[in-house]
Amino acid sequence: MEFISKINVLPKVPEKLSRLPELSKNLWWTWNYDAQEIFERIDEDLWVDVNRNPVLFLKKVSQKKLNEASENQAIVSLYSQVIEKFDKYMKAENTWFKSTHREYKGGEFAYFCAEYGLHESFPNYSGGLGVLAGDHLKSSSDLGIPLVAVGLLYKQGYFEQRINSEGWQEAIFNPYDFDNFPVIPVKDEEGNELFVTVEMDNRKVYAKIWKLQVGRINLIYLDTDIPQNDPEDRMITYQLYGGDQEMRIRQEILLGIGGVRALRAMGYNPSVWHMNEGHSAFLGLERIREFVQEKGLSFREAVQAAKSSAVFTTHTPVPAGHDAFPFHLMDRYFKNYWPQLKASRREFLDLGAEIRPDGSELFSMTTLALNLSSRANGVSKLHGEVSRDLAKDIWKGLEAVEVPITHVTNGVHATTWISKELQDLFTNYLGRDWHEKIDDPDLWKKIDNIPDEELWNVRKYLKKKLISFIHERTKLQRMRHGETVEQLEEIEEILNPNALTIGFARRFATYKRATLIFKDLDRLKKILNNPERPVQLIFAGKAHPADKPGQELIKRIYEISRMPEFKDKIVFIENYDMNVARHLVSGVDIWLNNPRRPREASGTSGQKAGMNGSPNFSVLDGWWVEGYNGKNGWAIGDERDYTDLELQDRIDSVSIYNTLEKEIVPLYYDHNEELGVSREWIKIMKESIISVTSFFNTHRMLKEYTQKLYMTAAELGEKFIKEDFKIARRFASWVELLERNWDSIRIKVLSNVNEDVVYATEGKIEVKAEVYLPGIGPDSILTQIVLAKLEDNKVISLKSFDMKLVKEVNKDTYLYEGEFEVDERGQYGWNVRVVPYNPIMPYQHYLIGFVKYPQ
């Protein structure tokens, strides 16, 4: 039969539930369980089938179900309460930011990231970086921080993981229909869709602009899969972290340069520009181009103007994790761009130039971000130290301890990650407004008021819920493998709800050592198969499609899980996503984490587990160095870094077995007859909830970002641009003066401190030095004595003492005098140096590459 035309018919939402479509398009519902409950009550089976996607749910739900829900008083009452709560939230004027910064009149804080993990129904993320970025937006919304976010809208997102019958990971890329997501096209005042263009390889690439509401926050997405583009360019936003190095540079050009243009097209004028990881660092180049082309600044002036209001966060603790492009690729994609900056090729490349150990040069996105930001941070205290060490080659002449990279320790969005059942319990004992005081340590002390029995009953329920979830997932996987009815029936025997359950879930990079616990299979066999005190392991996680060693780790775990001695006691859940993560962090008894220290920048999965009363059993790396207090979980190994990796693995694996055998397992099974578990175990659970939730949350994190980074960058940026960029112009001129003359500076130390003499503490040591300053003059520098404390010839701390100008000895040569004092015993090294000084600089080592020592 032929048809005149085809039409799509969607269910009509009844008047009594009329704002459900609006609610479905704002991801506020993702951290409000009562909002999710509305959809679940209307049609629970469909809610699960559509992966808890309310946009798709409202397309697929039957009219009958909607009509019945509109006549169900309980559902209508819940709907009314949720809408009232939603409206109050969206219109609130008494937010933390508005209360704390009443006088702030600046623009938004623009936050750029390559991925955002907001909910499993919107799979536009791969893992930790994206989930952290999603939590960053949620807490910004809760706190009323004036943030606007920018990212790329990937047609295929990240891959869906399947584990085949042999244990190999299969990567399935599914194209998504954006009509089924809560994104809407951005339109201009005439109702036309908005696009931006970016030049790539001598042709224009068009990007469509989309918007997503995350509570009060706008997340702006760019999409090149549109008819205006060639097939090759349409693929730029196909896959997250897909393709080769050329695809990566194209994605990063779109994110950085295209992202700035998208914000401008929408009328945004941000006061702060935050690069979350180096992927977005090209935004600094576009801001330089704007200053040169639109404000008439020189290249050098524009660099200083752009730098002043930019913030950079690094998440990568290893050199190989930082994107860097060969110069020939930069030439290909930017040869028409740097003339727009009024820069020479070399000036342009120097913004990101990094010399590798073999003498070759690459254009490093991290170097670019550090050169074009006034504030930089790592994501834990230890990662801050590691980042300073990695960056000391950029700040030539500085020891790592002086490199101006601070840290803001990561957290997680508590109301996204704490289970509904625990949240209800918290409401009963902490008050209905506990979620508004998440970073208040005094609030969390009330956890001790929760009766042990009540907390344990919730935990038992969550474990059973996790095991039921695993049974369902495993059944689907094994049906796909073609297993028999008898084999499928055996799935119900997988995992024991009364056994100590350990969870391990994260990206399967080799440094995370997913198989470390299997180093001694015989010893592990005894631990897991003790009939009086059984233990079981649950694993989940994806390896990048190009990471064969990571995929081999998954296969190894799968093979071990099918061994007769480990059957039903070790499980690998395929397709790790935020839904799997929520079940795991709230359902396991212990959260295992054993990366190769110090390669874990922070890690946040353990924070989610700790908040849910699942204590951490982790290497002292990342956030756990700060989080572990001896009462809230267990440490693996010690605070040492190893050069012998096999030795490190052996020591850490033995630590895992010993701690399980001697501490964790005996404590868990030291049962109180009434309770069914040790009260000492409950004590550790409560301490985990108290210590982790009160500090390792994104509310505290965002307040730190705002106070330490955003507001200081906004103030400096405002200073640099006001009065027609008067400060930026003057500062750039001064920096140019330094550049011309810096290499000519000479320092002659006149004092003779005898190495053979043993000096006493609190004794003053006098130093004199002559400094030759051609073309610069003493007003532009500080002459300092530098005192470094040494351990094994490594600088572990450093102090500087400013020297006084005594007189001009002869033309351009000046005599300086000073003294230093040692206040504790030990071995020290000292020297004299010259560094730039200008009252405009927000901190001493604001300028990169200007430190001079005697030659």
Q: Which residues pair with 503 in a beta bridge?
A: 538, 591
Q: Which band of pLDDT confidence, cut at 50, 70 and 90, is reported for residue 733?
A: very high
CA 782 to CA 795: how far, in whole Å? 22
What integer pLDDT is reported at residue 825 of this predicted model?
A: 81
How many Cβ atoms are within 10 Å of 518's Cβ, its own excluded? 16
**Cis previous bond, 319, omega within 30:** no
Q: Stretch 526-553: mean pLDDT, rounded?
A: 96
pLDDT at 641: 87
Q: Which of 568, 610, 614 is nearest to 411 (CA)?
A: 610
DSSP state of 646: H
CATH number of 745-836: 2.60.40.10
pLDDT tens-digit series, residues 838-849: 999 999 999 999
Q: What span, in angstroms and rounded, lies between the C-alpha atoms of 761 and 460? A: 59
Cβ distance 147 to 95 under 8 Å? no
Please name every residue paired with 163 in a beta bridge, in sequence order, or none if there are none. 169
Q: State how far the Cα of 188 lies from the Cα of 17, in Å rounded to an integer.
A: 30
- What pLDDT score does 761 carry? 58
Question: Rounded to an integer, what distance in angstroms lies between the CA atom of residue 195 and that of residue 186?
Answer: 9
Cα diameter, the chain: 104
Q: What's the whole-number mean pLDDT along residues 536-551?
A: 96
pLDDT of amino acid 8? 74
Residue whose token pair is 């015993």: 825
Residue 286's pLDDT is 98
Answer yes or no: is pLDDT of 757 > 60: no
Q: Are strands 590-593 and 500-505 parallel, antiparallel or unpaired?
A: parallel
As given in the structure block, the two tokens for residue 202 are 């001598």
pLDDT tens per residue across span 790-825: 988 889 999 999 999 999 999 999 999 999 888 888
Domain boundaries, the chain: 15-91, 98-410+703-726, 420-696, 745-836
DSSP string across 119-159:
-TTS----SHHHHHHHHHHHHHHHHT--EEEEEE--SSBSP
Residues 269-308: tens digit of each pLDDT: 999 999 999 999 999 999 999 999 999 999 999 999 999 9
124 Cβ neighbours under 8 A, 6+ residues apart: 115, 116, 117, 118, 130, 151, 153, 154, 157, 158, 240
Identical fold, 98-410+703-726 and 420-696: yes
Comparing 643 with 746, the larger pLDDT belongs to 746
Q: Using a CB cutoff of 8 Å and minimum separation of 24, what contacts does 205-211 make?
A: 205/229, 205/233, 205/236, 205/250, 205/254, 206/233, 207/237, 207/254, 207/258, 207/262, 209/185, 209/262, 209/265, 209/266, 210/153, 210/178, 210/183, 210/184, 210/185, 210/186, 211/183, 211/184, 211/185, 211/186
- Residue 360: what pLDDT? 86
| pLDDT tops 80 at residue 672 | no
- For residue range 632-661, list pLDDT tens digits in order: 999 999 888 898 999 999 999 999 999 999
Q: What is the pLDDT of residue 1?
A: 64
Mean pLDDT of the chain: 95
Please give the DSSP secondary-structure letter assigned to residue 192.
P
Of 300, 307, 302, nearest to 281 by C-alpha is 307
User: Looking at residue 6, what is its pLDDT?
Assistant: 66
Nearest to 416 by CA among 136, 615, 706: 136
Which residues share a beta bridge with 834?
A: 783, 852
Half-sphere CA count of 191, side-chain side, radius 13 A: 0
Please state the pTM of the whole predicted model. Answer: 0.96
Whole-number pLDDT of residue 484: 86
Q: What is the pLDDT of residue 130?
A: 96
% of the chain surpassing 90 pLDDT: 89
Contacts of 402 (CB under 8 A, 6+ apart): 388, 395, 798, 845
* Mean pLDDT, rounded, for 78-99: 97
Radius of gyration (Cα) for the chain, nearest Å? 29
Alpha-carbon span 86 to 88, nearest angstrom: 5
CATH number for region 420-696 = 3.40.50.2000
Question: What are the pLDDT digits (tens) for 180-226?
Answer: 999 999 999 999 999 999 999 999 999 999 999 999 999 999 999 99
Mean pLDDT of 43-70: 97
Mean pLDDT to the nearest integer, 474-478: 91
* Rounded mean pLDDT, 135-144: 98
Q: Which CATH superfamily groups domain 98-410+703-726?
A: Glycogen Phosphorylase B; (3.40.50.2000)
Answer for the pair 718, 756: CB distance below 8 angstroms, yes or no: no
